[in-house]
Chains A and B, each alone.
Chain A
Amino acid sequence: KQEVTQIPAALSVPEGENLVLNCSFTDSAIYNLQWFRQDPGKGLTSLLLIQSSQREQTSGRLNASLDKSSGRSTLYIAASQPGDSATYLCALTQGGSEKLVFGKGTKLTVNP
């Protein structure tokens, strides 16, 4: 059974810092991996999708990498801003299923 773990559960940083969020998974036979952000009491916003043949994706100040062999993905946020404060979730699909399996998230606080 696939398990997705995100460490740390919470992170507090000063504004302007570069930071890395980690996501690990137990079964390397994944298809897609997606990173989302969730603001308190809100739905999910898709940030980046890494498909199985890709190793990284970039959007603005965000860069996500995927290493299937080691069961890891990282989300790099450059020059963090208070508006980046949210919970970041990684989720993945496995071959033959569209079901997203989620980690529990990392709650990020960027202090002004």
Chain B
Amino acid sequence: SAVISQKPSRDICQRGTSLTIQCQVDSQVTMMFWYRQQPGQSLTLIATANQGSEATYESGFVIDKFPISRPNLTFSTLTVSNMSPEDSSIYLCSVEKWQDNEQFFGPGTRLTVL
């Protein structure tokens, strides 16, 4: 398995500001992902964080709104930019240690935008 931590665990932010969420894994992993879980909904993939290159975004998500960094094989950040109340969600990172294998999730970051 993998031990994954996220910072912050929760935050309350004002409309128009940005928040950067960190994801740290206890070992090197091949794949890192960012998901969003809106209230009462299931999880939706935002993007795949690629080490050393630009993230791969899913339909409906763009780099200007959700810039992602992955400087090495154990760390990634997701920024939620120019926030609106509709961005209020739980944001989760997940990792896959070996290709085509089990995915593990972090504890999530609960974001509330006022």
What residues make up the interface of A, taking CB atoms closer than 8 Å to B? 31-32, 34, 36, 41-46, 49, 51, 89, 91, 93, 98-100, 102-105
Contact = CB atoms under 8 A, between A and B. Distances in A.
B105 A98 contact: no
A47 to B, nearest CB: 10
B35 to A, nearest CB: 8
Contacts of A51: 100
B42 A104 contact: yes
Given A98-B48, A105-B42, A36 B33 contact: no
B43 interface: yes
B104 A46 contact: yes
Q: Which 10 A-B pairs have the closest CB atoms?
A: A44-B105, A43-B107, A102-B42, A49-B102, A43-B108, A104-B42, A43-B105, A102-B43, A99-B45, A98-B31
